[in-house]
Structure 1
Amino acid sequence: MAEKPEPVKVLYCPICSLPAEYCEFGPDFEKCKPWLIINAPELYPDLLKEANEKEAERVSEQLQFAGISSSGADGAASSVQSGETSSSKQEEVKRLPGGKIKKKARQEVVIEKVVRNKRKSITIIKGMELFGIKLSDASKKLGKKFATGASVVKGPTEKEQIDVQGDIAYDIVEFITETWPDVPETAIYFIEDGRKVPAA
């Protein structure tokens, strides 16, 4: 008579309710990680290694914060290890997919004139918020100064910009630098024929 097969015991994750080996495909893998490290380390050895590295990094940061300089071979090894992790962390921040280095967003105001229906033109002002200027207040001041309609709208890149009706590009630079001294003239650019041209 053939032996009756033993039922397979499946370890289920209490966070995502999937079997532990399928957690990485679930919706809350980040939340599952601590539970997996404790209850199923053999399934995810990389998580255990990552957790150990993070713990070592955290301890070394605490030591640096406390001003304790580690000495001896162990100290040198730990400082080298923490140095490696911090430099790799910096690289992660700076590098984009494909190896391109991410540049910091430059503080600049870009002014562009768009002509519609061959007669009507709109002056678009982008980047005022980078100087700590509230766009709604700026649009009111621009509308009042140039006696025209001005509103804050979302641009094609989902960033907010100010649309001012009419061609006010001739007088706008002077008005911006006088009204908001935080905006230097060197940070103001015009878009002409698809190219960025400095206003100064």
Structure 2
Amino acid sequence: MADKPQPVQVLYCEICGLPPEYCEFGPDFEKCKPWLIKNAPDVYPDLIKEASDKVTDQLQSSSISDGTAPSVGSSTSKQEVKRLPGGKIKKKEKQEVIIEKVTRNKRKSITTVKGLELFGVKLSDASKKLGKKFATGASVVKGPTEKDQIDVQGDISFDIVDFITETWPDVPEAAIFFIEEGKKVAAA
């Protein structure tokens, strides 16, 4: 008689729950790296080299700058930069509300409001309030940069700054800007 085939033992990452060879496609590869170096070094040999290079760079830079032996617990004054896949650096978004009026068919216009979510405002609630206040249609749509924005039918740029600052006190008037003729102009 032939021996029964044994089940395959699969190792799963404790951080993301994926097999180690798929961790780089998971939700947060940076958090998985220490676990991968310890438990699956053969899957990502570049990680071990990268980690050892970082340690030697830190040791060299701290001993050169101080002239003393490096300390393990010292923290540098450099801010950590968020890196996206592909090595691109993520920019920190400025907290500002941008209001733009777009005219279509010579007479009809749409006012777009971008950036309210940066102040903790729920966009669906904001669109309902804007629609009720100005007696017009308002909806949350994806803008050209794949970010949500509120489109309000009609030209409501005359009253919108006062309405925003009264309804949401967290939004300062200094953080509200208009786009006029392609230039950003302060609302205040």
TM-score bucket of the superposed structures, by smaller chain: 0.5 to 0.7
> TM-score scaled to structure 2, two decimals?
0.64
Q: Aligned AA for 1:148?
A: T
Distance 1:27 1:190, change over 3 A: same
Name 2:143's counterpart in structure 1.
155
1:102-160, CA deviations, whole angstroms, 9 ceiling, x for partnerless residues? 65321111000011122210000011111111111111111111100011111111111
> TM-score scaled to structure 1, two decimals?
0.60
Q: 2:112 aligns with which of 118, 124, 135?
A: 124
1:28-50, CA deviations, whole angstroms, 9 ceiling, x for partnerless residues? 4666543443xx59x94860672
Distance 1:46 1:175, change over 3 A: closer
Q: Aligned AA for 1:34?
A: K
Q: 1:182 aligns with which of 132, 147, 170?
A: 170
- Is 1:34–2:38 an aligned residue pair? yes
Distance 1:49 1:150, change over 3 A: closer
Name 2:183's counterpart in structure 1.
195
1:36–1:44 CA contact under 8 A, matched in 2: no
> If you compute each CA radius of gyration, which structure gives the higher value, 1 or 2?
1
Name 2:130's counterpart in structure 1.
142
Of 131-140 and 102-111, deviating more is: 102-111
Q: Aligned AA for 1:121?
A: S
The structure in which a higher percent of residues are helix is 1
Report deviation, 1:93: 3.9
Name 1:47's counterpart in structure 2.
48
- Could you say what secondary structure the match of 1:169 adopts? coil
- Could you say what secondary structure the match of 2:159 adopts? helix
Q: Aligned AA for 1:114?
A: V
Tell me, in whole angstroms, the C-alpha distance in 2 between the residues paired with 1:164 and 1:134.
16
2:37–2:47 CA contact under 8 A, matched in 1: no
Tell me, in whole angstroms, the C-alpha distance in 1 between the residues paired with 2:166 and 2:54.
53
Distance 1:50 1:169, change over 3 A: same
Report deviation, 1:175: 1.1
Name 2:69's counterpart in structure 1.
77
Name 2:79's counterpart in structure 1.
90
Report deviation, 1:90: 3.2
Q: 2:103 aligns with which of 103, 110, 115?
A: 115
Name 1:167's counterpart in structure 2.
155
**Number of aligned positions between the proteins:** 152
Structure 1: runs of 5+ lacking an equivalent = 1-13, 17-25, 58-75
Name 1:67's counterpart in structure 2.
none
